[in-house]
Amino acid sequence: MTIAGAAGRPESAPYLTRRRSHGPGDERVFKYMMVGPAVLWVVALTLFPLFEVLRYSFADYVLGLGITHYVGLGNYAEVLESARFWHSILVTVIYVLLTVPIEVVFGFLLAWLVNLHAPGTKFFRMLITAPLFTMEVAIGYLGITMFSAQGGLVTSLLRLVGISIPWLSTATWGLTAAMILEVWRWTPFVFLLALAALAAIPDEIYDAAVIDCESHWQVMRHVAVPLAWPVMTIAVLFRLIEGFKAFGLPFALTGGGPGTSTQLFSIYDYLTTVEFFNFGKGSAMSIVMLAMLSVVIVLFFGQMRRRIG
Amino acid sequence: MRSVLWLRARGGSRVLVYALLAASAVWVVVPLLWAVLNSIKTLEDTFRAGAIIPFLQFVPTLTSWRTVLMDPGILHALLTSIVVSAGTTLLVLLISLPAAYSLARFDFFVSSRDVTLWFLSQRVLPPVVLLVPFYIMMVQFHLIDTWTGLIITYSTFSLAFGVVIMRDVFRDISKEVEEAAKVEGATPWQIFVWIALPLSVDGIVVTAINIFAFSWNEALFSSAFTSLDAQTLASFILASRGTRDVNFNLAAANTLLAIGPPVILSFFFQRYLARGLSLGAVKG
């Protein structure tokens, strides 16, 4: 390194700058060399494949032969007329719209409690974040043993109080079981973001708030919630986007069954592509899904644009 | 520091706070505890009521753990998961760190913020959308059921994350040190390697853990692309599922083996977690 050696000799700087003005030391060359590989990677492995999906969605693709012929909007017609497709969309929407609000409420309330900094809350903070990086497929798999009719933890506990629920043999309860585990798995995400938002509120604001407000409840409603709102918006958008990707947890728990009743969109798309090798239909399905998601995506970008400097 | 709300809280409220925290702790711990207990029980004890406390109510056994850890299929899946996740992490850091630094420091013919948002857009895309073209690509390049195929796939999905979050980390480094080094004649590359990288170690570690965890937990593409040679733990578990004949004890041991590494890694790095998870949108 030349930094120390050049110390105290400022006259050398212009010489060095001039000498390097056209080599790799030049900032104008350097910045493109640094960012180039990443841009090329994304162009080759995301944008190009995305273009390919669009192409395949208008075609009949046979593995080994390639595109045999173009079918126009045939794949789209097949998708849009398929009851199974609309069922998978319905199940996904139910799944997302029921889990995300619960995660947001739980996550925010837990963050509120932890942010009180009562003695020992560091321990709780760490515990609450534990599910955050757990493998979803493994949680779904473990869920089978929790919701199993024979000896399952939840089933047995409920039976003690006289409730008998056919968790994994019906669509409604199977989906409910998946959503319970989904909430378990993802509440820590909202919790951490909410905690960051609450921690960023200066103490003085709370000092003033406790004088004006009658109860904790009022402080939360009139002070903390409005101040944490922007961050909570980000959390909700993240969870909506991630929620629509849900695959591993419900698939491992129910296998999409009984029958095809708990096949979320990603599961159905996956099966269409990988088990039935119907690449054209799989592609068309992806494009339709992307179009439906675009509202959420646009909102998300609006928020991120504002927050990224 | 205790919150003023806590200091002014009455006894009843304080009890309520702890009661709710305790309830949430139970909620989080019960599935994990259930897995731990089942992994050290015999099959008979699993279905016997009142076998809850080890040594007192049942005799713990390591049979399930021995079975799982001696299963060549599981060991190979474990090895694959480690190699693929570590490989992806290294590759993504190698490509995204320079790009992130460049975007943090320089402007282009478009603003670096727009380039960053463009990277971010790759992150929003549901991965299943790219399943078809990636599958066809893997077949064409003979990468089905290989570590390389998985590493390339996972790197694609983590690259945007690496660029966006590391750009945010690099932007936090004070420019003064870098300006000083520049005046002394250091090249941009030297400044990047000897100043920016060492000052960002915390951020790099958190990014690495996130990428590692993502690759470790991914199940959709690994299930689609691998069957035997490159089966990861996630696809192994998905392949072995079945609602009828799940062996509770082996399932428990498998689950703990699968969820352990990323969870334990994350415990060491609680700082920056919110920032990483929100792609830098939330500081903390």
CATH number at residue A209: 1.10.3720.10
Alpha helices in chain B (DSSP H): 4-7, 11-39, 43-46, 63-70, 72-105, 112-124, 131-140, 147-171, 175-183, 188-191, 197-199, 201-217, 220-225, 233-239, 248-267, 273-277
Number of domains, chain A: 2
Q: Which residues contact A108 (CB under 8 A, 6 or more apart)?
A: A190, A191, A194, A225, A228, A232
Report A:172-201 residues touching B (Cβ under 8 A): 181, 184, 189, 192-193, 195-197, 199-200
pLDDT digits (tens, 9 = 90+) for B93-118: 999 999 999 988 888 888 888 888 88
Q: Do B117 and A305 touch (CB under 8 A)?
A: yes
Dihedral of the alpha carbons of A116, A117, A118, A122, in degrees to the nearest 10: 130
- Percentage of chain B modeled with pLDDT above 90: 38
Lowest mean pLDDT among A181-185, B15-19, B92-96, B108-112: B108-112
Query: In the predicted model, what is the mean pLDDT of residues B164-174?
Result: 86
The pLDDT score that the predictor gives to residue A189 is 92
- Confidence (pLDDT) at B242: 56
- Are A46 and A109 contained in the same domain? no
Percentage with pLDDT > 70 across chain B: 98
Say if residue A4 is in the same domain as residue A109.
no
Q: Are residues A98 and A22 in the same domain?
A: no
Confidence of residue B284 (pLDDT cuts 50, 70, 90): low
Complex ipTM more than 0.95, yes or no: no
Mean pLDDT confidence for B187-208: 87
A257 and A223 housed in the same domain: yes
Does A20 contact chain B (CB < 8 Å)?
A: yes
**pLDDT confidence tier of residue A37, bands split at 50, 70 and 90:** very high
Q: In this structure, are A38 and A88 located in the same domain?
A: no
pLDDT tens digits for range B24-75: 999 999 999 999 998 988 887 777 777 777 777 787 888 889 988 988 989 9
Q: Which residue of B has its CA nearest to A126?
A: B267
Computed over every residue of chain A, the mean pLDDT equals 85
Quick one: pLDDT at residue A76? 93
Contacts B119 to A, Cβ<8 Å: 38, 42
Query: Does residue A233 lie in a domain region?
Result: yes
Residues in A 74-103 with any Cβ partner in B closer than 8 A: none
- The helix or strand, by DSSP H or E, that contains position A143, with its residue range, turns out to be helix A136-147
A105 lies in a domain? yes
| Residues in B 210-249 with any Cβ partner in A closer than 8 A | 213, 216-217, 219-220, 223-224, 233-234, 237-238, 240-243, 246, 248
List, for residues A121-135, the tens digit of each pLDDT value. 888 888 898 898 899
Three-state secondary structure call for residue A61 = strand
Res B243 pLDDT > 50: no
Does A212 contact B at CB distance below 8 Å?
Answer: no
Stretch among A227-236, A296-305, B82-91 having the lowest mean pLDDT: A296-305
Q: Would the CB atoms of A136 and B217 count as touching at under 8 Å?
A: yes
What residues of chain A, 230 to 289, have a C-beta less than 8 Å from chain B?
231, 234-235, 238, 241, 244-245, 247-248, 251-252, 254-255, 257, 265-266, 269-270, 273-274, 279, 282-283, 286-287, 289
Indicate whether A248 and A125 sit together in one domain.
Answer: yes
pLDDT (0 to 100) of residue B8 = 75
Instruction: Look at B128 and A269 and tell me if their CB atoms are within 8 Å.
Output: yes
Predicted confidence (pLDDT) at residue A18 exceeds the cutoff of 50 = no
Q: How large is the angle between the packed helices A171-199 and A83-114, nearest 10 degrees?
A: 40
Residue A200 has a pLDDT of 85
Q: In the prediction, which pLDDT does A300 show? A: 83
- pLDDT tens across A282-300, in order? 999 999 988 888 888 888 8
Q: Give pairs for B82-87: CB < 8 Å, separation 24+.
A: B83/B147, B84/B147, B84/B150, B84/B151, B84/B154, B84/B215, B84/B230, B84/B232, B85/B154, B85/B212, B85/B215, B85/B216, B86/B212, B87/B147, B87/B151
Query: Quick one: A38 and A157 in the same domain?
Result: no
Is A64 part of a structural domain of the chain? no
Percentage with pLDDT > 70 across chain A: 92
What distances in angstroms separate CA B99 from CA A16, B26, B167, one per listed residue?
25, 43, 8
Residue A18 and residue A105 share a domain: no
Using 50, 70 and 90 to split pLDDT, how confident is the model at B88?
Answer: very high
Give residue limits of the domains in chain B: 4-65, 72-277
- What residues have CB less than 8 Å from B86, skipping those under 6 apart? B212
Domain B72-277 is found in CATH 3.30.1360.70: no
**Residues in chain A within 8 Å Cβ distance of B281:** 231, 234, 303-304, 307-308
**A25 → closest Cβ in B134, B187, B241:** B187
Whether residue A131 sits in one domain with residue A1: no
Is A71 inside any structural domain? no
**Option in B8, B216, B282 nearest A193 (CB):** B282
In this prediction, residue A87 carries a pLDDT of 93
pLDDT surpassing 60 at residue B164:
yes
Question: Both A100 and A23 in a single domain?
Answer: no
Give strand pairing partners of B58. B54
Instruction: Say yes or no: A93 and A233 in one domain.
Output: yes
Pull the structure tokens for residue A244: 């629509």
Q: Which residue has the tokens 């975007």?
A: B103
Mean pLDDT of chain B: 87
Domain shared by A221 and A143, yes or no: yes
- In angstroms, the separation between the Cα of residue B77 and the nearest Cα of chain A is 14
pLDDT exceeds cutoff 60 at B149: yes
- Pick the range with the lowest mean pLDDT from A167-181, B79-93, B116-130: B116-130
Query: Nearest-5° angle of CA B126, CA B127, CA B132?
Result: 120
Q: Please determine, for residue B7, whether its predicted confidence score (pLDDT) is greater than 60.
A: yes
In the prediction, which pLDDT does B227 show? Answer: 84
The answer on pLDDT for B181 being more than 80 is: yes
Chain-chain contact of B277 with A41 (C-beta, under 8 angstroms): no
The domain in which residue A17 lies consists of: 1-55
Lowest mean pLDDT among A138-152, B2-16, B137-151: B2-16
Q: Could you give the 3-state DSSP secondary structure of residue A233?
A: helix
